[in-house]
Structure formats: structure tokens, C-alpha cells
Amino acid sequence: MTSNELFFGLYGLCEGQIAGLADGGKSIRLDGTPIIGENQQINLAGIEWDFRAGSIDQTPISGFAMVENEMAVGVELRSDKPFVRTINNRELSAVRVRLNFNALKQHHENGDITGYAISYAIDVQTDGEAFKQVLSETVRGKSSQGYKKSHRIHLPNKGAGEKAVELGGVRKLGILL
């Protein structure tokens, strides 16, 4: 299974203008792995990087048009108990919901280990109106090391009232062979 988690990072450390990276992309390491290998090939698929030396007239780095603030909630989601988070910041245009499935597998009496499927839904409520489903998803597969899924949920831009996001409908669908 492949997770859809993304990392957007902006790292800057200097006082004034600097000369640059000692060896380009080979100088940038993530978890000890250089993003560009000795053979000039990209070691990490899908990675993009850029560099600014710190000059006064430099252009901004693209891809950071939004401001994000992450808050861990740390609740166990169950089919009999949806989770609702009320958001009082009326200027928010979206929320990102990150789910962490500890494992997607089922152990059987005969010793077999099979995959699993879990369905969930995300509903949004604005200004006290009824909740409206904005996402319905099923995660299917087999994973013993856990699996992460991330969704960006756009919030309606109506009125000045509260917005509430409900994550519920989590249910186990059954066994995948």
C-alpha cells in the first residue's frame, strides 16, 4: 500500500546572503539519504527542491501560498461514535484531516493474515445548517506497519458562523482475500 502523505517544508538558516549548497542536491539529505545520488539520479521519487541565497531582491519560493497550522487530536474513531470538531476561525478556507490506521489486517483462526477494508465519511456543517457529506472513502489493503491517509477538505465560505467538521461512519467492511 502506498500512502498519500505529502511533506511541504521550507527550511532557511543564514544571516545575510550565502554562497550556496556545497554540492547541490547531493547536499540535501532526508533521513540521511541525499535527494540526488552520486550518479546524478534522484533518490526520492516525486521530490522537488529549490534554493535561495538570501539576497534582498530574490523571488519567493513557489508552492507555499497557504499558511497551515496542524493540531493533533489523537482520538480513536469508531462506527458507534463519530468525532466532531467545531472551528471558530471564520477565515479558514480548508482543513486537512490526517488519518492513521495502525494496521490493515485480520488474523484468522487458521493462521492466515488477510487484508482489511475500512470506510469512513467526512461531513461539514456551516452556520448551524445540517451536516453535508463532502467525502466518502474506503481504504482497502493489507498493511502491518500502519497506513496514513490525508484529505484536504474545503470549507464553505458562507456567513460568519461556526464551521464544524464531523469524521464518522467509520466501519469495517470485511475481509479482503
Please state the domain extents for the chain: 1-65, 83-176
Q: What is the pLDDT of residue 177?
A: 26
Question: Could you tell me the three cell numbers for 147?
Answer: 497506513
Q: What is the pLDDT of residue 172?
A: 40
All residues at 6 or more sequence positions from 129 whose CB lies less than 8 Å from its CB, including other chains:
none
Q: What is the pLDDT of residue 164?
A: 63
Q: What is the mean pLDDT of each run of 10 residues along the chain (177 residues)?
A: 70 78 88 90 84 86 72 80 80 83 87 88 83 88 85 75 61 36
Q: What is the pLDDT of residue 110?
A: 94
pTM (2 d.p.): 0.61
CA distance 67 to 10: 12
Question: Could you tell me the three cell numbers for 34?
Answer: 541525499
Fold category of 83-176 in CATH: Immunoglobulin-like (2.60.40)
